[in-house]
Chain A
Amino acid sequence: MSELAGSASPPSADGKEAVITLEQVTVQYGQQAVLREVSAVFPTGAVGLLGPNGAGKSTLIRSLLGLITPTSGRMRVLGHDVAHAPVEIRARVGYMPESDAYMPGMNAVSCVAYCGELAGLPAADAMQRAHEMLFYVGLGDVRYRAVETYSTGMKQRLKLAQALVHDPDLVFLDEPTNGMDPRGRDEMLSLVYDLAHRKGVNVILSSHLLPDVEQTCDHVIVMYKGRVVTHGPMAELKQPRGQVFELRVKAPRGQDAFRERLTAAGLLPHRPATDEGENPEPSAETPGCRSDRAEPGDDEIIRVLVPGHGGARDLFTVAASAGVQVRHLRPSVVTLDDVFARAVGDTEGTR
């Protein structure tokens, strides 16, 4: 990989070779800015591109592929400038789009082989690789079935196979677990992990699902409203800059009012991600808090990041001033969930 990345790629902050470098990239659709002066360095390995829907993740990937021309800024992928060598870049990257996408009127093996040919593989090699890739993603038994008859989960696997058929050095996976059942999702994440950690393929995993990124990536870039709000190695980001507590409260004026008090006191409350991988979709009003769910009851657990060294005392102070009974309090470890909430909270706080 180091040879492929070339000397033109600067090292990232953690000293790894950079696969992608973004410098002040802005993308506008008409008057609406979708990416706003984004600067970031993607190191080798597995990088999670994390953010809620509408954060600009897919737009960023499409820009890196040369499918969208940025309004301003500069992007380099694998040592090539996207503006000047998009074809050379696309020869070395694979792309698994978010939406359903396949070649019409073909079975899976023809579809993947055709994608290999489009990437420059000779027909015989492309066919051989197509079989291998379909076995790799778990579609070996159904590879002669028409793609139109595939379920959503099978189509996701097929999209991964077509992204890998030409053996890319870098693969963009845009929401790869969308529409998959829990077992399929686990298998997909295992494949992603395997690719990045055992097969030497650099992976950019775009997702709004915190657990997906946490499970597969070593490095994370968090996007929110078209900006990179934080980035770094997963382990570093999860270093506690404060303490995280899980608490359950009885709030006479409702939990929302309590969360507002916590936020006003500089603490960052948010609900934990669920097993299904839902993340806290931040609202503009209460950073770090979900806005798309029903009002929680008193049994709802709130995770609160308490910056500094105040710890539980700060929490009790706010609870007492709000007239809230703390029924349960337990220290917790920092998760990506907290990192996300903190990053988004910081962003909102600076405005």
Chain B
Amino acid sequence: MPIHDQGYRRYTGTRLPHSRTWRAIARSGVQSMLRRRAFVALVIVSWLPFIVRAVQLYAAANLPQVPFLAPTAETFRQFLGQQETFLFFVTVYAGAGLIANDRRVNALQIYLSRPLTRMDYILGKLAALLALVLFVTWVPAVLLVAVQVLFSGSSAFVLENMRVLPAITVLTGFEAVIVSLAMLALSSLSKSSRFVGILYAALLFFTQAITVVLRAVMGERGLAWLSVTDSLTQVGDAIFGLPLSYESSVLLCFVSLLAIAAVSVAVLNRRVRGVEVVA
């Protein structure tokens, strides 16, 4: 008997519904990142501000000599602002290759020849990136609130600042969705993850540079809607109910970010296909 006769048998086990396959894609995406030491190191570094803030909260709760360290809603907003740097690096590192690498090795036709739709594929990739991004924004921010309650020994701060927890969730969620969609869209445009990373950085820095130049020329502090990062800052300030950083309409910034998301979805819809047809 040939050796291969011993290897193939029909499968009689259970089959999961296709609506759950996006989870397998998401899990695989997260696991592949966590296997990379450089990424784990990046995540560890991105949690350093959390430790610094935790020390601040401990000092504020236990040392009456430093009342200026007492937390406010702005403390958490500032913390999220600091995390934006890590958000950028995590998004580039984890997101640039998510679709680009699949395109490089023609994996899309394997994915899409399985019982899943293009939507399942995009959802799986998006979920992987969202999970990684939220791990350096939402998770430490929420933990920081918990640490504050723990160190102070009361939930007075949370009760007095009822807006903080929802604001953290809404802002980090919105931010994560926008940057993840933009990154996935860029990732679907190329087969090179490095090129995608450069494109993403260019998108942020170029819009920022244009805004800065126009502000200098026009002598005003508006135009935040032209810059992705400024728009996020402006929307974040509004969500936290804090004074706005720029003299721009929050609605305009919000619409600007939604437009980026819409364009990203359109790009993904066009680019994520099992077969590329060049007519």
Contacts and interface: CB of A to CB of B under 8 A. Distances in A.
Question: Which of B3, B6, B114, B116 is packed against the most chain A CB atoms within 10 Å?
Answer: B114
Contacts of B17: 120
A133 interface: yes
Contacts of B104: 104
B196 to A, nearest CB: 14
B218 interface: no
A87 B106 contact: no
A104 B107 contact: yes
Contacts of A93: 113
Interface residues of B, number: 44
Interface in B1-48: 2-11, 13-18, 20-21, 24-25, 28, 32
Given A68-B277, A138-B4, A121 B11 contact: yes
A115 B279 contact: no
Interface string A87-101: 110110101010111
B116 A118 contact: yes
B101 A136 contact: no
Contacts of B102: 103-104
Given A105-B101, A167-B11, A162 B115 contact: no
B56 interface: no
B125 to A, nearest CB: 13
B194 interface: no
Interface in A198-225: 198-200
Contacts of A100: 105-106
B275 interface: yes
A136 B2 CA distance: 10
Nearest to B33: A105
A136 B279 contact: no
Contact of B275 (A67, A119, A122, A191): A67
Given A67-B274, A121-B13, A135 B7 contact: yes
A299 interface: no
A65 B4 contact: no
B112 A67 contact: yes
B113 A99 contact: no
A319 interface: no
Interface in A263-300: none
Given A90-B115, A114-B24, A101 B4 contact: no
Task: Name the interface size band of chain A.
Answer: 35 or more
A250 interface: no
A200 B10 CA distance: 9
Interface in B254-276: 273-275
Contact of B114 (A88, A90, A132, A133): A90
Interface in A47-69: 62, 65, 67-68
Nearest to B102: A104
A241 B76 CA distance: 86
B21 A102 contact: no
A198 B277 contact: no
B13 A125 contact: yes
Given A104-B107, A120-B18, A164 B8 contact: yes
Contacts of A23: none
A91 B274 contact: no
Contact of B113 (A90, A132, A138): A90
Interface in A132-184: 132-133, 135-138, 162, 164, 166-167
A120 B20 CA distance: 8
A102 B110 CA distance: 7
A194 interface: yes
B24 A103 contact: no
B111 interface: yes
Contacts of B28: 114, 117
Nearest to A29: B279
A100 B104 CA distance: 10
Contacts of B9: 132
Nearest to A164: B8
A162 B110 contact: yes
Nearest to A115: B110
Contact of A62 (B2, B5, B274): B274
Nearest to B11: A167
B169 interface: no
A251 interface: no
Contacts of A167: 10-11
A137 B3 CA distance: 10
Query: Most chain-B CB neighbours within 10 Å: which of A100, A106, A121?
Result: A121
Contacts of B97: 104
A329 interface: no
Interface of A: 29-32, 62, 65, 67-68, 87-88, 90-91, 93, 95, 97, 99-106, 114-115, 117-123, 125, 129, 132-133, 135-138, 162, 164, 166-167, 190-191, 194-195, 198-200
30 contacts: A32-B279, A62-B109, A62-B275, A65-B112, A65-B113, A65-B274, A67-B275, A87-B115, A90-B116, A95-B109, A97-B109, A99-B106, A101-B110, A103-B107, A103-B110, A104-B107, A105-B101, A117-B21, A117-B24, A117-B28, A118-B115, A119-B15, A119-B115, A120-B15, A121-B16, A122-B14, A136-B4, A136-B8, A194-B8, A200-B10
Given A97-B110, A99-B109, A122-B16, 12 more contacts: A29-B278, A88-B115, A93-B113, A104-B107, A114-B24, A115-B110, A118-B114, A122-B13, A132-B9, A138-B4, A194-B4, A199-B8
